[in-house]
Structure 1
Amino acid sequence: MKELIMDRLGKMEDLQQRRLLRNLMSGVFLNLVEYQEELNRRLERRVFEEVGIHDTKHDIYVSMCRREEWDPLHDYLHPMIPSDTEPGRIDLGEIVQSLKEGGEVRLFSLFLECSYPLIQELLYSGRTFRGSLKTGRGQYGIEVKLEKDMTYIKEIEKLYHVFLNNGLPWKTVNHPYAYKFVKAVLTRIDGELAEDEEVLEISVHLEEYEPYKRTDLVPLWNIQRLELKTGGFPVPAADRVNYEHVLPLLKTGLQHGYLVEVNDDSIRYIKRSAEEITVVSPREKSDTWQVLKIASPFNSGMSRPGYPLMSNRQREDFISRYGHQQGQIVRSKGEIVRIVHSFAASEGLTLADVEIRPADGSQAITYELNRFITDEVRVDNGKWRMCLKFKRTDKDSQPDYLAEDLLSFLVSQVQMSFPEYRCEGEWA
């Protein structure tokens, strides 16, 4: 409005009339416009406050780095498995014993930097690969097969149960790297090993898959395990049965998210405030509690992970916040488009179309990230398929080998809102 007024004033040729009109506008009308704009801002702020604050403290950020590049002083990223930062050790006695019993031995994990369909093709083929095991007494030929490594997927499943026990809504974790690890399993060795031999080196050649092989990688996420002590003495809860244990958060940072790990029935429920967490438990004595700190991302420029940073962060969206508060799902194509494009991971992707198809045995290029969420009412067999067709609008936004994994993340989030269908992703 101000720009429009100034533009019209500038086009007036009579300087005397321009001066009079400018004084009139600046003295009365512009103040009225500013007052109205301020009222509009207050109304908008009030509406947003009533809907609730967009919770970003519990967003999960992930990445990966090589073992020798791991920075223990990184601002917010930590290893999913702390032991990954140390060189792996192989117990030769365990190998010898397992081979004698006709069993198989896991040697190490490999990361395959290729697309998900290519990894599935390799795992379903049942192929074996040749390699060598070098000890202090000589070198032995070995045969290995590859199996899916569930180590990091199980860590995500554990996190899901922690979210549930803390009374927080679950949002699919976008960790594409966790689903590309395979474990090399020893099936045969040429010759006989002695238990007192020391393993010096193990190598495996994956033939045409060799260019995709990566070793000694450490998956990271912004979760740190802490032990927090109760501030003060426990006080009786309102039910006069349990006790309230207050965990102050000022020292560890109020800008971060916190989850209390619950491994038994010692916690009834958890209350949250801006500066503390209150654990309601039948425990009478003050104690330490295992807490997961979900660190808020902070980039100081001093240390950066080797692989792209991924997250399940959602953009600021008033409609999604209001819908979440109401607990209702709008079952329309527009709602599916909104869900997909509300995530930062959808950058460079466009949902082109949605089709409902009958169930068949075809293999999708995407996979379900929330398989650990059980549905005791609906069965997966016989469900109609909801096929989400995507287009890539910017191929430089993410690496090509992660394309199907990003589709899987977006489709898995849609699946949580439409459990009556089996959601799949494909390229348009």
Structure 2
Amino acid sequence: MKDIVMDRLSKMEDLQQRGMLRNLMSSVFLGVVEYQEELNRQIERRVFEEVGNQDSKYDIYAAMCRREEWDPLHEYLFPMIPEDTGPRSIDLQSLVARLKEGEELPLFSFFLECPYPVIQELLYSDRTFRGELVTSGGRHAIQIRLERNMTYIREIEKLYHVFLSNGLPWRTINHPYAYKFVNAVLVGGELQLGEEEEVQEITVHLEEYEEYKRTDLVPLWNIQRLELKTGGFPVPAADRVNFEHALPLRSSGLQHGYLVDINDDSIRYIKRSPEELTVVSTRDKSDAWQVLKVVEPVGTSMSKLSYALMSNRQRDDFISNYGRRQGQVVRSKGEIVRIIHSFAVSEWLELVDVEIRPPSARPALTYELNRFITDEVRVDNGKWRMCLKFNYRESGRELGYLAEDMMSFLVSEVQMSFPEYRCEGEWA
């Protein structure tokens, strides 16, 4: 508007009239225009703040490192299982006794650095491999079978239930490393062990799969376990039945997300404010509470990661934020594209097409990351398939053996919005 006014003034030939009009416009009209523009900016800021991504404090970041490279002072990454950072120990006598009774005993786990279809092929083959158990008394030949390691997948499932108990919406966890661990299960061997023998080394050879085997790796995520104490005495709640326990958060950082790790039925609900968590519970005593701190990543980490950092972070733009706040899902291909493009992972993969196909028992290229979410209304058998076709973007070539896992993450997010279909991913 200012430019239009100045353009009109510059075209006036009568200088006296131009001066009078310029004084009039600058003293009255331009002030009104500036005031209106400032109000428009305030409205715009208010809209964007109200529709902002309020759940960004609960983005889960995941990575992995070698055990000898684990940094206990890392700013935001912590072991999914704290015991992974320590040495392993095996009770030989218990091992031999259980083996004699016909039990199969997992000895240790390791990581397979290969595409997910290769892991599926290996596990479904039900093959056995030769190994060796080295003790202080000698060497013993053993037979090993591989099975999927569910330890880290169960940790993700536990986190899902914590999110539900805290009244927060669940988003699929993008932790591809957790799905590539397998257990080496002892199924037989020549074990004649003495009481004083100790395990020194266990080896297993996977034949043509040996090149994929990686040992002594620790899966990480940005969740720290804390014990927080209430900042005072419990206060009776508004219902005059329960009590409110306030957990101050200033000392542990207001920029992080916090989840109360609930393991009993005494907690009714949890309220949040910028500086504290309020636990409404039947307990009338002030106790310490187990809390999961979702640490906000920082870009100044001095620790170098052996494996790439992954996350379920969504883009912080208006359309994505507004779409997440809506209670309804638009049943269209455009909505599917919006869901997929809202994640940072879409920088590597591009959705090319969506096809609806009849039910089939053929195994899919992708896998479901939210198997623990049960649907009591719909049954999986007989569902029509929604096949999502992907292509690599230019930057996606670096995904390597994680390509199917990234595709599975995106497909699992679409599955949550379209439960009437069985969503599958494939390459175009």
What's the TM-score, normalizing by structure 1? 0.92
CA distance in 1, matches of 2:251, 2:111: 38
Partner of 2:118: 118
Give 1:81's aligned amino acid.
I
User: Which secondary structure state, in structure 1, belongs to the residue aligned with residue 367 of structure 2?
Assistant: coil
Q: 1:417 to 1:138 in 2, by over 3 A?
A: same
User: How far is the alpha carbon of 1:316 from its aligned partner?
Assistant: 1.2
Partner of 1:143: 143
Counterpart mapping for 1:232-381 below 5 A = 232-381=232-381
The 8 Å contact of residues 54 and 316 in structure 1, kept in 2 or not, is answered as no
The 8 Å contact of residues 408 and 425 in structure 2, kept in 1 or not, is answered as yes
User: Which secondary structure state, in structure 2, belongs to the residue aligned with residue 251 of structure 1?
Assistant: helix
Partner of 1:67: 67
Give 2:90's aligned amino acid.
I
1:385 corresponds to 2:385: yes
Counterpart mapping for 1:65-104 below 5 A = 65-104=65-104
Give 1:223's aligned amino acid.
I
Partner of 1:44: 44
Give 2:209's aligned amino acid.
Y
CA distance in 2, matches of 1:169, 1:396: 29
Query: For 1:114-142, what per-residue CA distance to the aligned partner results, in whole angstroms no more than 9, with x for missing partners?
Result: 00001000000011111111111111111
Query: For 1:378-415, what per-residue CA distance to the aligned partner results, in whole angstroms no more than 9, with x for missing partners?
Result: 00000000000011012456421000000000000000
CA distance in 1, matches of 2:5, 2:313: 41
Give 1:67's aligned amino acid.
R
CA distance in 1, matches of 2:158, 2:202: 32
Give 2:210's aligned amino acid.
E
CA distance in 2, matches of 1:214, 1:395: 26
User: Which secondary structure state, in structure 2, belongs to the residue aligned with residue 345 of structure 1?
Assistant: helix
The 8 Å contact of residues 347 and 397 in structure 1, kept in 2 or not, is answered as no
Q: 1:209 to 1:232 in 2, by over 3 A?
A: same
Query: For 1:179-202, what per-residue CA distance to the aligned partner results, in whole angstroms no more than 9, with x for missing partners?
Result: 000000011112422232111111
User: Which secondary structure state, in structure 2, belongs to the residue aligned with residue 178 of structure 1?
Assistant: helix
Gaps of 5+ in 1: none
The 8 Å contact of residues 140 and 190 in structure 1, kept in 2 or not, is answered as yes
CA distance in 2, matches of 1:242, 1:297: 36
User: Which secondary structure state, in structure 1, belongs to the residue aligned with residue 350 of structure 2?
Assistant: strand
User: How far is the alpha carbon of 1:49 from its aligned partner?
Assistant: 3.3
Partner of 2:194: 194
What percent of counterpart residues are identical? 71
1:57 corresponds to 2:61: no
Give 2:265's aligned amino acid.
D
CA distance in 2, matches of 1:289, 1:199: 39
User: How far is the alpha carbon of 1:35 from its aligned partner?
Assistant: 5.2
The 8 Å contact of residues 113 and 214 in structure 1, kept in 2 or not, is answered as yes
User: How far is the alpha carbon of 1:48 from its aligned partner?
Assistant: 2.2
Counterpart mapping for 1:98-247 below 5 A = 98-247=98-247
CA distance in 2, matches of 1:127, 1:31: 81
The 8 Å contact of residues 256 and 295 in structure 2, kept in 1 or not, is answered as yes
The 8 Å contact of residues 75 and 301 in structure 2, kept in 1 or not, is answered as no
RMSD: 2.6
